[in-house]
Amino acid sequence: MRNKLTDELAVCGMNAVLAAAEYHPQTINRLFLREDRLPSFTGICKQLAERKRPYKLCEDEELERVCKSVHHQGVVAMIEEPVVEPLTKEDLELWAIEKKTGLVLHSVGNDHNLGAIARAAAFFDAHFVVLNEKDNEARLTTSAYRIAEGAFEHLTVRKITNTAAFLKDATKRLTVIGTDTKARRRISDISSIVKGEKLRKTGVALVLGNEETGLPQNVKDQCSCLLRIPGTGNIESLNVSQAAALFLHAIFEL
């Protein structure tokens, strides 16, 4: 839930708020929590007091009003509105030089998917997430932060306007792996592809598309390769966040 008057976003859930308090405490403007949660947040409460920012002990009903969700787990932080900066050439160069792994998301569908993908990304040591600014659903919302369980504190999030145009440039610096349920090659081929790409002198960008329609052809055409996850065929495909986790694990194991 966003507060447009104060340019704040409500972040709820124990792990999400704990991560914000540990890694980016300066972004927390206000804190609301149940009394039983106070022992876990004494440090950030002290910091808020020193910054002359409020924190308040309250009941579940007020927490629900603050974050517009029953899934607050007894704590809500109002943080500065997250600003997703446009991706720069310097970002891309740095990711290539440092051989970072990350994701490019094209119309992944909603903020729940974004949160779950971010959680998998942080778990498997991915560094960046690139969003298409035309995707009005996959945004940094209260739900995305809660489902990510603190993952956004470990990720660099950037935005682009045209996925195909970005990938055309990105493939000069990164190994770009597109996901496609009809691809000839399988996820098991990822080791030979990534390790063989200029002797692993590049970073890796995993491109994920919409669950129903997948990646558009102009985006697939710009990928270094296309891979699929083989299955029984009983179900056409996995949830996009499940697919992301499997691919990220495969890259992490290299």
Give residue-wise pLDDT tens across range 235-251. 777 899 999 999 999 99
Same domain, yes or no: 103 and 158: yes
Q: Which residue, 52, 80, 108, sits at the end of a domain?
A: 80
Same domain, yes or no: 71 and 98: no
Same domain, yes or no: 124 and 241: yes
Same domain, yes or no: 67 and 96: no
* Contact criterion met (CB below 8 Å) for 156 and 24: no
Share of the chain above pLDDT 90, in %: 82
Task: Report the pLDDT averaged over residues 231-235.
Answer: 83
Cα angle value 23/25/31 (rounded, 5°): 130
Q: Which residue, 62, 80, 98, sits at the end of a domain?
A: 80
Whether pTM > 0.75 for this model: the answer is yes
Same domain, yes or no: 113 and 186: yes
* Contact criterion met (CB below 8 Å) for 103 and 110: no
The per-residue pLDDT for 135 is 84
Least confident residue range of 99-113, 132-146, 186-200: 186-200
CATH no. for residue 19?
3.30.1330.30
Task: Report the pLDDT averaged over residues 9-31.
Answer: 97
User: Could you tell me the CA-to-CA distances from 154 to 91, 125, 132, 204 in Å, in that order?
Assistant: 16, 9, 20, 17
- Of the pLDDT bands very low, low, confident and very high (cuts 50, 70, 90), residue 170 is very high
Number of domains in the chain: 2
The per-residue pLDDT for 4 is 58
Torsions phi, psi for 203 (to 5 deg): -80, 180
Same domain, yes or no: 18 and 51: yes
Q: Which residue, 20, 46, 80, sits at the end of a domain?
A: 80
Pairing, β 75-80 against β 8-12: antiparallel
Separation of alpha carbons 15 and 189, rounded Å: 35
Same domain, yes or no: 46 and 65: yes
* Contact criterion met (CB below 8 Å) for 225 and 178: yes
- Of the pLDDT bands very low, low, confident and very high (cuts 50, 70, 90), residue 5 is low
Same domain, yes or no: 39 and 106: no
Beta strands in 92-188 (DSSP E): 101-105, 128-132, 156-160, 174-179, 185-186
Does position 21 have pLDDT exceeding 60, yes or no? Answer: yes
Domain that holds residue 64: 2-80
Separation of alpha carbons 89 and 104, rounded Å: 15
Same domain, yes or no: 28 and 125: no
Same domain, yes or no: 147 and 214: yes
The per-residue pLDDT for 112 is 94
Separation of alpha carbons 104 and 220, rounded Å: 12
Same domain, yes or no: 35 and 55: yes
Task: Report the pLDDT averaged over residues 83-90.
Answer: 95
The per-residue pLDDT for 247 is 97
* Contact criterion met (CB below 8 Å) for 103 and 157: no
- Of the pLDDT bands very low, low, confident and very high (cuts 50, 70, 90), residue 136 is confident
Task: Report the pLDDT averaged over residues 206-235.
Answer: 92
Separation of alpha carbons 65 and 132, rounded Å: 31
CATH no. for residue 221?
3.40.1280.10
Does position 116 have pLDDT exceeding 90, yes or no? Answer: yes
Q: Which are the contacts of 85, defined by CB distance < 8 A and separation ≥ 6?
A: 158, 159
Same domain, yes or no: 93 and 75: no
The per-residue pLDDT for 199 is 47
Task: Report the pLDDT averaged over residues 192-209.
Answer: 78
Does position 137 have pLDDT exceeding 80, yes or no? Answer: no
The mean predicted confidence, pLDDT, of the chain is: 92
